[in-house]
Amino acid sequence: QVQLVESGGGLVQAGGSLRLSCATSGIIFSFGIRSMSWYRQAPGKQRDLVATITSGGNTNYADSVQGRFTISRDNAKNTVFLQMNSLKPEDTAVYYCNVQRYSGRDYWGQGTQVTVSS
């Protein structure tokens, strides 16, 4: 019954901003969740980690997005966000939400497309 649904992607010009959301069901953030992350995958490339937030609130970012992206969560709504500012064409990719339980079990969303034009 666990589901992750990403939304908020779209087409934006370089320098613009987007806010991605990951709505979850079957998951309670205050119980058994180790971390929440955003990954992205560009055409012909592997899926790479973009940002992570732990159950304690610590965050980590890929060097390529440091200072431009911010990951956050709303525990009451069981939702993860990714605020993306100063977007660049190289940020174009499908963005995926990931949740990991303390047991090590992972859950993935279906992805949302982000396209940044020059």
Burial of 97 (0-12, 13-18, 19+ CB in 10 A): buried
Each residue of 14-68: pLDDT tens digit? 999 999 999 999 887 778 899 999 999 999 999 999 999 998 999 999 999 999 9
The confidence score (pLDDT) of residue 97 equals 97
Which residue's entry shows tokens 């806010």? 19
At 18, is the secondary structure helix, strand, or coil?
strand
Each residue of 9-18: pLDDT tens digit? 999 999 999 9
Rounded (10°) CA dihedral 23, 27, 28, 29: -60
Each residue of 59-115: pLDDT tens digit? 999 999 999 999 999 988 999 999 999 999 999 999 999 999 999 999 999 999 999
Concatenating the DSSP letter of every residue in 55-89 gives TTS-EEE-TTTTTTEEEEEETTTTEEEEEE-S--G
